[in-house]
Amino acid sequence: MSKKVRIGNTDLVVNPIGLGANAIGGHNLYNGIDEQLNRELLRTAINEGLDYIDTAFTYGMGRSEEIIGEVVNEMGNRQGLTIATKGTQRIVDGERVIDNSPAYLRETVDASLKRLQTDYIDLFYIHYPDENTPKYEAVGALKELKDSGKIRAIGVSNFSPEQLKEANQDGYVDVLQGHYNLLNRQAETDYFPYTIANNISFVPYFPFASGLLAGKYTKDTTFDDFRKNMPHLQGEAFEQNLAKVEKLRVIANDKQTEVSNLVLAWYLAQDAIDTVIPGAKTPKQVIRNLKTLELQLTPAEMETIGRIFS
Ligand code: NAP
C-alpha cells in the first residue's frame, strides 16, 4: 500500500512511515549491532516501499551514515529516497563538543555528504543547540546551504520552545524533531501550537518510548543498553506502563492489528505530525511498521487511546 505525504512546507514527499536509523551502525548506542543485518534491513525496507530514512552523525559516529550511503549507492535509487541527517557534535581532543557555528555547520554537512555518498541531503537538522551561537545565525547558515543545493530542508532538534522561536525568526525552519510519544505528551502544549501556526512539521522521536509502546515487553524484560537507565522502563513505572500497553492490546486485537501499528497511526492522525521514524532492529519490524498505512482510527478510538495515556 502506498500513501505519500508532504513534510510540512517542504518539497519532500514521502511514505509517512520512515525509518529511525540509530540502530544502523549505532555501535555506541546498542550492543551487538550486526552490520550485515543492518544492510539487509535497509534493502528490505526500501524494497517494501520505505523511502525516508532518519540518521545522524552521532549514530555510530558516522557509521550509520556510511552504511546507508553504501546500501543506497549499491541499490542505485538515491533519487527515490529522502535522507535526513543531523550534525553539531564535533570531536575535540577526544571529547564531544556541541557546535552550531556557521563554519562548523558547513563542515559537518560536507562530511555527512561524503559519508552518505551523495551530493545533497534532503533534510539536515541541527541535532542539539549549543550555548553560544544565536539560533537565527545557525539557521541562517543552513539557509545558505539550502540555497546552494547541498541541503533541501532545514531542521532543528532538541531546541527549547524559546530557542525554536529564535531559530525561526526569519521563517526558515521546516522541521522540528523532538521527544514525543504516548507516555511523554509535553510537546502537545510546548510546541504544537507554534509549529502548527508556523507550518513547521513536528517529527516525534522515541515514538515507541524505546520499544515499550511496540507492545512486546513483559515485566521480566531486561535491558543491556542505554535503556537500562530509562525511568519508564524500571520498577513500578515499568509495570504501570505495561498495564497501559495491555489496554492498547485490547483495541489492537479488536482491529486485527498490532499495538505498534495502533500507536504509529495515533501519531499520524495528529495535525502537528506528518511522518514518524520508528527505530527498527530487524527487517521483520520494518515490514510490520509499514503495515500502519493499512490502519484507519476512528475519532472514538483516537480519544480512547489518548485517554489511556492522559
Ligand atoms: P523507538 O522508535 O521509540 O523504539 C525503537 C525500538 O522499538 C526498536 O529498537 C525495537 O526494540 C522496537 N521496535 C520497533 N519496531 C518494532 C516492531 N514492529 N515490533 C516490536 N518492536 C519494535 O526509539 P528510537 O529508535 O531510539 O527512536 C526512533 C528514532 O528517532 C531513532 O532511530 C532516531 O532516528 C531518532 N532519534 C532522534 C533523537 C534526537 O535527538 N533527535 C533522539 C532519539 C532518537 P527492540 O530493541 O526491543 O527490538
Return d(Cα 58, Cα 29) in angstroms, integer: 9
Return d(Cα 108, Cα 111) in angstroms, integer: 5
Task: Kindly give the distance from the C-alpha atom of residue 23 to the centroid of ligand 1, in angstroms, as a whole number.
Answer: 8
Task: Kindly give the distance from the C-alpha atom of residue 170 to the centroid of ligand 1, in angstroms, as a whole number.
Answer: 33
Contacts of 185 (CB under 8 A, 6+ apart): 309
pLDDT in tens, 234-282: 999 999 999 999 999 999 999 999 999 999 999 999 999 999 999 999 9
Task: Kindly give the distance from the C-alpha atom of residue 263 to the centroid of ligand 1, in angstroms, as a whole number.
Answer: 13
Confidence bin at 188 (pLDDT 50/70/90): very high
Amino acid at the residue 24: I
Q: Residue 7: CB within 6 Å of ligand 1?
A: no
Task: Kindly give the distance from the C-alpha atom of residue 133 to the centroid of ligand 1, in angstroms, as a whole number.
Answer: 30
pLDDT computed for residue 2 by the predictor: 62
pLDDT computed for residue 240 by the predictor: 96
* 59 catalytic residue (yes or no): yes
**Is the alpha carbon torsion for 155, 160, 161, 164 positive or negative?**
negative
Confidence bin at 3 (pLDDT 50/70/90): confident
Residue 65: pLDDT over 70: yes
Confidence bin at 1 (pLDDT 50/70/90): low
Residue 300: pLDDT over 80: yes
pLDDT computed for residue 226 by the predictor: 85
Q: What is the mean pLDDT of residues 16-40?
A: 96
Beta strand pairing call for 123-126 and 95-98: unpaired
Residue 69: pLDDT over 90: yes
Mutate to test the pocket of ligand 1, among 281, 282, 284, 287 (most ligand atoms within 8 A of CB): 281
pLDDT in tens, 72-113: 999 999 999 999 999 999 989 989 999 999 999 999 999 999
33 burial via Cβ count (<10 Å: 0-12, 13-18, 19+): buried
Catalytic residue among 30, 52, 59, 180: 59
Confidence bin at 225 (pLDDT 50/70/90): confident
pLDDT in tens, 126-144: 999 999 999 999 999 999 9
Q: Residue 214: CB within 6 Å of ligand 1?
A: yes
Q: Residue 118: CB within 6 Å of ligand 1?
A: no
Q: Which domains does the chain have, with CATH numbers?
A: 5-214+259-297 (3.20.20.100)
